[in-house]
Amino acid sequence: MRKRIVAGNWKMNMDLQPGIELATGIRDYFSNRKTVADIVLCTPYIHLAILKELLNGSNIGYGAQNCSAETSGAYTGEISCSMIKSTGAGYVIIGHSERRTLFGEGDQLLYRKTKLAITTGLKVIFCCGELLEERKSEIHFNIVKRQLEHGLFGLDENEFKNVIIAYEPVWAIGTGLNATPEQAQEMHSYIRKLIDGRYGDKVADETTILYGGSCKASNASEIFSMPDVDGGLIGGASLKKDEFCAIVESVK
């Protein structure tokens, strides 16, 4: 059985103190509740070292939202995979649409980051998804195929086992307009077929594929009930404790 995961993507939100309060609230809520889904908090870098102590002994994982493609050295302002790993973090998001569009990160760079993150021992939450114009011109499958082929499929099978895919249609991110469960299922099943074609059906069956884009407590159950949707990558709704905890509990 593949893992079900609900990951929060805090983006550039939460100063130190409110971040500590949010993570503590989530930890305490789940301290005596079992969940079907694994929980991951992807926070700004400033929280990572603190989360090591704060989440110690809990079943909540944590990670970063980006990393450098270089190992170390004169790259002012960058954060390396090994720095992230050294905080005890287990995950890094790579290829989020905001990194692709606002920071010009392309397939080749994202592949280098992914490869390095995995070599360093991190699990990668790799994002893919099409723009609204791309869906309207019905090239959304081709776009996602290109993102996966160029950004991921150079990995060998053992490396690929450390990848979690997040399908996030860009038109759904932060817009309040989520994909329908059917639209999510259709793309997730297509992604699983691509993985099957590259790595075989066993790996495809074991790969966790998350949906992201305006996922909230009120629509999560319906989206997560689709057979190829294994949980979610949650932006805005991960900043509110009650909302995020309810989304985690929507994975049945």
**Ranges within 172-211 binding ligand PGA (CB under 6 A):** 173-174
Which residue's CB is nearer to ligand PGA, number 134 or number 199? 134
Question: Is 14 an interacting residue with respect to ligand PGA (CB under 6 A)?
Answer: no
Helix (H, G, I), strand (E, B) or coil at 187: helix
Helices and strands (H, E) in the chain, number of each type: 12, 8
**C-beta closer to ligand PGA: residue 204 or 220:** 220
Question: For residues 95 and 127, is the Cβ–Cβ distance under 8 A?
Answer: yes
State the angle between helix axes of 140-151 and 181-199 in degrees (0 to 180), rounded to the nearest 10. 40
For ligand PGA, which residue has the nearest CB?
A: 235
Least gap, CB of 53 to ligand PGA (angstroms): 26
Exactly one of 19, 151, 213, 231 binds ligand PGA (CB under 6 A); which one? 213
Give the nearest distance from C-beta 231 to ligand PGA in angstroms. 12
Q: Is 151 in the site for ligand PGA (CB under 6 A)?
A: no
Q: Is 234 in the site for ligand PGA (CB under 6 A)?
A: yes
Residues 57-76, interacting with ligand PGA (CB under 6 A): none
Beta partners for residue 209, in sequence order: 165
Question: Taking the complex as a whole, how short is the minimal distance between the CB of residue 157 and ligand PGA, in angstroms?
Answer: 27
Q: Look up residue 3 and give its DSSP letter.
A: P
Contact criterion met (CB below 8 Å) for 167 and 191:
yes
Point out the residues that are catalytic: 96, 168
Angle between helices 217-224 and 241-249 (to 10 degrees): 20
Using DSSP bridges, classify how beta strands 123-128 and 163-167 pair: parallel, antiparallel or unpaired. Answer: parallel
Residues near ligand PGA (CB under 6 A), total? 13
Q: Which is nearer to ligand PGA, 95 or 236 (CB)?
A: 236
Q: Which of 6, 14, 41, 215 binds ligand PGA (CB under 6 A)?
A: 215
| 9 binding ligand PGA? (CB under 6 A) | yes
Provide the sign of the torsion angle of the four alpha carbons 97, 101, 106, 109, taken in this order: negative
Give the separation between CA 179 and CA 213, rounded to whole angstroms: 7
End-to-end CA separation in angstroms for the chain: 14
Say whether residue 43 binds ligand PGA (CB under 6 A). no
Q: Give the interface with ligand PGA as residue ranges (CB under 6 A).
A: 9, 168, 173-174, 212-215, 233-237
